[in-house]
Amino acid sequence: MSKLLKIDKNSRVPKYQQIVDSVVHNISIGKLSMDQKIPSINKLSEEFYLSRDTVEKAYGILKERKVIRAIRGKGFYISRTKLISKVNILFLINKLSWYKMEIYNSFIKSIGPNSHVDLHIYHCDESLFLNLLNKHKKAYDYYIIMPHFKTDKLQHTSTTNAISSAISKIPKEKLIIMDNKNIPIKDNIITVYEDYENDIYNALKKGIKKISKYKKIILIYPEATVYPYPKRIKKGFIKFCGEHNLDFDVLDRVYDDMIILKGDLFITIEEDDLISLMHQIKEQEFSLGSNIGVISYNDTPLKALLGISVISTDFKYMGTTTSRMILNCETGTVKVPFSFIHRNSL
């Protein structure tokens, strides 16, 4: 071990950091392997004429990063070898969907090869989220969190007291909030978010000329679901219809054999509702984009192929902007663009 470690007494780099860097470097080049024993704190301090506190601080950092582990009565051992020289990122998303993966994939492509990203899905479940955060605390350089949770009644909430408390324990320089900014931690962190209420309001406003030809606007907003949606979506929709004197309704799902009338415009959020609606429109021989309109929430390649009009977040922008801010050591709050895209269904 004494041959592997390099301590430069004339360097301006703190000696504890030199120990950390030496261990990490030797792991990355294969000279230290998994489960290999390393010297005790006392032995290393004696060999290099360092204070015990210096070595203890270095080992403390290595333990926090899960590079080494201490076994009582036996000593210290290497516990991590893969990608140790890279920036390690924990990516916590609330559900596995095309939209979330578009964000994740764009982030992975733009963050570059010098980073290692671990993806975990917590399914909007508070307990699972807290367990994941506790399990991986202090093990990563950055923590990217999409805060979307469900209540006991399967409705959406951005956070709870327990969640806010857990997130607040993450050092601000390591914390990134993505997709939803409604948590009580805002200063000096990276936040790349959607503004659900104003996004839908402004997007529909851009399409008002096409929308206003319909007699009734119907939002299909799931009130209780395993993966609930922010209530701000419904609030923004109601605000839009009220300001433009449009007749509207809000339903919690597309019902089987639902009564559909000429002049109806439907706005769907969930994919299952869109599929059911399109099937019923076809069965009842309505003319899509003429006497019946459809707008879907969030774009996909399939919706583009089928000519479905959408109001949608720029998912790639969310991923690439987050990675850029990490790479450039930026902090701040960035709102993601949200667009109205007109196609044949309107």
The CATH number of whichever domain residue 237 belongs to comes to 3.40.50.2300
- Which of 22-26, 102-106, 127-131, 218-222 is least confident? 22-26
Reported as a single tens digit per residue, the pLDDT across 118-145 is 999 999 999 999 999 988 877 788 999 9
Query: The CATH number of the domain where 23 resides is what?
Result: 1.10.10.10
- Residue 319 has which token pair? 């991923």
Same domain for 121 and 67: no
Same domain for 303 and 239: yes
pTM of the model: 0.77
Same domain for 321 and 220: no
Same domain for 181 and 232: no
- Cα 191 from Cα 170, distance rounded (Å): 14
Confidence at 1, pLDDT banded by 50, 70, 90? low
Reported as a single tens digit per residue, the pLDDT across 64-102 is 778 899 998 899 999 876 655 568 899 999 999 999 999
Name the percent of the chain lying above pLDDT 70: 98
Reported as a single tens digit per residue, the pLDDT across 266-314 is 999 999 999 999 999 999 999 999 999 999 999 999 999 999 999 999 9
Same domain for 181 and 205: no
Same domain for 209 and 256: yes
Same domain for 279 and 135: no
Same domain for 212 and 74: no
Which residue in 244, 238, 221 sits closest to 297, CA to CA?
221
Which residue range is the domain that position 100 belongs to?
87-194+315-338
Same domain for 233 and 168: no
Q: Structural domain tally of the chain? A: 3
Residue 6 lies in a domain: no
Q: Which of 59, 78, 97 is the last residue of a domain?
A: 78
Residue 163 lies in a domain: yes
Same domain for 307 and 203: yes
Residue 302 lies in a domain: yes
Chain-wide mean pLDDT for the chain? 92
Which residue in 167, 178, 173 sits closest to 103, CA to CA?
178
Same domain for 212 and 182: no
User: What's the order of all strands across the beta sheet hosting 190-193?
Assistant: 115-121, 87-93, 142-145, 175-179, 190-193, 332-335
pLDDT of residue 95: 96
